[in-house]
Structure 1
Amino acid sequence: MALLITEKCINCDMCEPECPNQAIAMGAAIYQIDPARCTECVGHYDEPTCQSVCPINHTIISDPLWQESNDALWDKFVRLHP
């Protein structure tokens, strides 16, 4: 499943440069994650880097509207990084 940045975001700019898939960009008010590009760092790291660098707990969560299996995340990683 892709990740989602909640309204707790303080726009600290920590997550965007850490995303290996370039899935994070500034939205109208807070950063947003493009679910089509988010692999939860599968293929890159053991855990999502955006979550690990975010200074506010529970700001970046699993997106309940974008459910994907680990296999689907791997397939997305392969498509994004041929």
Structure 2
Amino acid sequence: MSLITDPLYLIHISRIKFLRVDERGERIISFPPTVMSDDYVRLAAPLYPEMQYCYSPPMTESKLTTSPRTTKRSYRHRKQYVPIRP
């Protein structure tokens, strides 16, 4: 079967790309145990360490939990408005 026509592989790739782009993706994406039954996914599994990061965070009092992978290292500051003088 072609990779393009295999729906399980396309879903898997979409999940992996979302995990690589989104900072909080591992909280909402999970991989079903049956995903490793797909031949293409099984062969490509060593290339995707993101599959190990998926977890369901514990509920805490503040409900604000972060994983070590999603902590922001720096914040972008807004540009200050400087009026242009003629």
TM-score > 0.5, shorter chain as reference = no
More strand by share: 1
The one of the two structures with greater contact order (alpha-carbon pairs below 8 A, sep at least 6) is 1
Using structure 1 for the length normalisation, give the TM-score. Answer: 0.32
Using structure 2 for the length normalisation, give the TM-score. Answer: 0.31
If you compute each CA radius of gyration, which structure gives the higher value, 1 or 2?
2
